[in-house]
Chains A and B, each alone.
Chain A
Amino acid sequence: MLALVHAVVAAGSTGLGGAPVTPASTSSSGNFLVSLVVWLPLLGALVILALPNRNESDHGNIKNAALAFTAAPLVISIFATYSTFIEMPAIFSGGYKYEENYNWVGAFGAHYHVGVDGISLPLMLLSTILFFVAVLASWNLKVRVKEYFFLILILDIGVTGVFTAMDLFLFFIFWEIELIPMFLLIILWGGPRRVYAAWKFLLFTIAASALLLLAILVLYFKSGAHTFDMQVLAGAHLAPEVGAALFWLFFLCFAIKLPAVGFHTWLPDAHVEAPTAVSVLLAGILLKMGGYGLIRICVGFFSSSAKQFSLAILTFAVVGILWGGFAALVQDDMKRMVAYSSVSHMGFVLLGMSALTPLALNGAVFQLFAHGVITGALFLLVGLVYDRTHTRSIREMGGLAQRMPYLAVAWVVTAFASAGLPGFAGFIAEFEIFLGSYQAHHVGTFLAVFGVVLSAAYLLWMLERVFFGPLKEAWTKLKDPGPLELGYMVGVLTVIFLLGVAPKALAQLISFGLVPISQKIAGG
């Protein structure tokens, strides 16, 4: 294993941009940690299928199984991240870890090739954290319990698979696996307009998938390598106009998922109708698949096109940041407000991507993680309020802090984190992005900073109207959430806080992952 890492580092430092594993090789380092993280949820799903589903205690067993099969990947992810942290920078300083490479469909050169680098390891950790929390947040579910947790676990496979796949064919399969469980989770457990929202989500996402498939096919044939190996494809030499066309095909696909402004209207609808835990997963991880694709493929494969179209992406970024922020300001539904804030905050990822400086890209990946936990927390909190008030209308609430002081504290802290206050993860990410993008785009960065002011405005205004002021008659009997809810909130907030005060290890890990991409940007 160590020899492999050294070999990868050596290859990376010679300027090749990652270690080109020859497509024909079927070697494996003998590690299977990543496969465990990806496939343990499948085992869990099968266990849940086999469990009886007759009464309360059966439901308890199903929930415990779901918890166990999301806890195990979480523990493995934490172990993988921790052991990488302590190896940095002496032993691990770039390249992939826990790599597995098996010949899969030899006829067209598809491999089962997974592994994690500095970009995908944090996102794998994020996924495992949020799936574990999502199971806890669904603990009070009473309808169709078995199907629900089965689908959550299948969704888990798709998402962690996308982040860890090193073969584009495998990447596409995982990308598709995610689709159906999400559609079913919204349409079966959703709110009143769930059918419209679920179909809208499905159609937008399938359009994105079609573009992705087309792009992968064109890349496969035009690269001349006849391989799906992502490291090889990243180094493929393409004609500039082919590169540009592929850049935009991939960009459109990932921009729908992110979502970038103009492709974002599926998001507020899906969020409003989805149950709490599904919203957490949707905003916390599924959007990050778009951000991951933008950085890994659009920037990583087509860096010269990314440079060429930097201003177009900047426009998407700035318009999205401001559009999302302004729209969030006028929402009455708390979930819609948080959904629009996601559009705004994902704009920062695009901003980092458009700047293409190492610092801005580092901030963009950091933002993927930070926004994942922070917005996950915001949706959990919206859910906790809704469970008690049975409304999400900001106008109807008021003075809730008098009855639910603990929930109010959690809300205020998370809102501060989302508004990018120092001491929380979001601040580090946004600061890195601004610092890195100012070098490339003065005016764009200046306009984007206004988005931070807008986040403070809509979050604080919402807090004021929901938690403070006179207590309304209807809410005099509300009670604070119990130990389970406060427990997972404290857990998530701890992650947000730790990354805010001690961001160095994560930022360094991400920078190792970005080395091949930055070399490619600098080189051509």
Chain B
Amino acid sequence: LESVNYVAIAVSVAAGLAGFATAALFYWPAYARFSAAAFNKRFALVYDWSHHKGYFDEIYEALFARGIIVNIGRAAQWLDTNVIDGFVNGVADGYLYFGDRLRKLQTGKVQGYAVGLFTALVAIAVAALIFGSSGPLASAAGLTH
């Protein structure tokens, strides 16, 4: 156990008594020398600061509650509507766009269809010649029989 520190006790008791005396000078009718209202007016800054508990709640609210926390929430909300839903709606819009383009292919003109059919046929024939088992690619690889 440590020994009793009389200096510390004396200082704290003195501080307490000083506070008691100061309060008495303001508020104890028999000893009052100063008016609290006048003092508050004179030292408005100190009064406001102590009245709002050092503005601790306000700082806390601005910094954490409304500042950091709520802004993270807003960010999550923004990502939801823009990134995730942006992707989802983008897929939907893409389908609509290409569907609309695709729709215009069906014109009802038989000549148009015939051109398409013929082009496809040529493309397949060319592909068969190039990539087929007797084509240049196959012979280059030595696969022709």
A residues engaging B (CB < 8 A)?
200, 203-204, 262, 264-265, 268, 323, 326-331, 457
A265 touches B74 (CB 8 A): no
Please, how many angstroms separate the alpha-carbon atoms of A323 and B84 in the complex? 13
Give B67 Cβ to nearest chain A Cβ, in Å: 13
* A329/B69 in contact, CB under 8 A: yes
Could you show 18 A-B contacts with beta carbons less than 8 Å apart? Answer: A200-B88, A262-B84, A265-B80, A265-B84, A265-B88, A323-B76, A326-B73, A326-B75, A327-B73, A327-B76, A327-B77, A328-B73, A329-B69, A329-B73, A330-B74, A330-B77, A331-B77, A457-B69
B63 within 8 A of A: no
Beyond A326-B69, A330-B70, whether A265 also contacts B77 by CB under 8 A is no
Q: How far is the CA of A329 from the CA of B77 in the complex (A)?
A: 10
Residues of A within 8 A of B77 (CB): 327, 330-331
Closest chain-B Cβ to A417's Cβ sits at a distance in Å of 22
Q: Which residues of A contact B74 (CB under 8 A)?
A: 330
Which residues of chain B come closer than 8 Å to A329, judged between CB atoms? 69-70, 73
A interface footprint on B50-82 (CB within 8 Å = 1, 0 otherwise): 000000000000000000011011111100100
A178 to B73, CA, bound (A): 33
- B85 engages A265 (CB within 8 Å): yes
CB distance from B71 to the nearest CB of A (A): 9
> How big is chain B's contact interface, by range?
10 to 19
A467-B70 Cα distance, complex, nearest whole Å: 21
Smallest CB separation, B133 vs chain A (Å): 31
B-side contacts of A327, CB under 8 Å:
73, 76-77, 80
Q: Point out residues on B near A: beta carbons under 8 Å.
A: 69-70, 72-77, 80, 84-85, 88, 92
In angstroms, Cα B77 to Cα A414, docked, is: 25
* Apart from A323-B76, A329-B70, A329-B73: 15 A-B pairs, beta carbons within 8 A: A200-B88, A203-B92, A204-B88, A262-B84, A264-B84, A326-B69, A326-B72, A326-B75, A326-B76, A327-B73, A327-B76, A330-B70, A330-B74, A330-B76, A331-B77
Q: How far is the CA of A330 from the CA of B79 in the complex (A)?
A: 13
- Chain B residues, Cβ within 8 Å of A328: 73
Q: Determine chain B's interface SS by DSSP, over half rule.
A: helix
Most B Cβ at <10 Å: residue of A203, A264, A329, A457? A329
Chain A residues with CB below 8 A from B70, complex form:
329-330
Which residues on B sit within 8 Å (CB–CB) of A204?
Answer: 88
Cβ contacts under 8 Å, B73 to chain A: 326-330
A326 neighbours in B (Cβ, 8 Å): 69, 72-73, 75-76
Determine how close the nearest CB of chain A comes to the CB of B66; give it in whole angstroms: 11
Count chain B CB atoms within 10 A of each CB in A264, A326, A328, A457 and give the residue with the most. Answer: A326
Bound complex: CA A330 to CA B72 (Å): 9
Residues of A within 8 A of B84 (CB): 262, 264-265
CA distance A438 to B138 in the complex (A): 61
In this complex, the member of A203, A327, A328 whose beta carbon has the largest number of chain B beta carbons within 10 angstroms is A327
- Identify the 3 closest CB pairs spanning chains A and B, nearest first: A330-B73, A329-B73, A326-B73
Chain B residues contacting A330 (CB-CB under 8 Å) are: 70, 73-74, 76-77
Q: Give B88's nearest chain A residue, CB to CB.
A: A265
A204's nearest neighbour on chain B, judged by CB, is B88
Distance in angstroms between the alpha carbons of A268 and B77 in the assembled complex: 11
Q: How far is the CA of A204 from the CA of B91 in the complex (A)?
A: 12
A264 vs B76: C-alpha distance when bound (angstroms): 12
Q: Which residues of chain A come closer than 8 Å to B88, judged between CB atoms?
A: 200, 204, 265
In the bound complex, CA of A265 to CA of B87 (Å)? 11
CA of A329 to CA of B70, assembled, Å: 7
A326 to B80, CA, bound (A): 12
Tell me the minimal C-beta distance from B86 to chain A in angstroms.
10
Q: Which residues of B contact A264 (CB under 8 A)?
A: 84
Q: What distance in Å separates the Cβ of A34 from its nearest Cβ neighbour in chain B?
A: 37
CA distance A203 to B76 in the complex (A): 23
Contacts of A331 in B (CB 8 A): 77
CA distance A223 to B72 in the complex (A): 46
**A200 CA to B85 CA in the complex, in Å?**
10
Complex-state Cα separation, A328 to B74, whole angstroms: 10
Pick the most buried of A203, A264, A265, A328: most chain B CB atoms within 10 A of its CB.
Answer: A265
**Listed residue (B72, B74, B76) with the most chain A CB atoms within 10 angstroms of its CB:** B76
In the complex, residue of chain B having the shortest beta-carbon distance to the beta carbon of A199: B92
- Which residue in chain B gives the minimum CB-CB distance to A266? B88
Within the complex, what minimum Cβ distance (angstroms) separates A147 from chain B?
Answer: 27
Residue of B nearest to A262 (CB): B84
CB-defined contacts of B92 to chain A, threshold 8 Å: 203
Chain B nearest CB from A330 CB (Å) reads 4
The CA-CA distance from A203 to B75 in the complex, in Å, is 26
Most chain A Cβ neighbours within 10 Å, of B80, B84, B88, B92: B80
* Minimum distance in angstroms from B100 CB to a CB of chain A: 18
Residue of A nearest to B72 (CB): A326
> A262–B79 Cα gap in the complex (Å)?
10
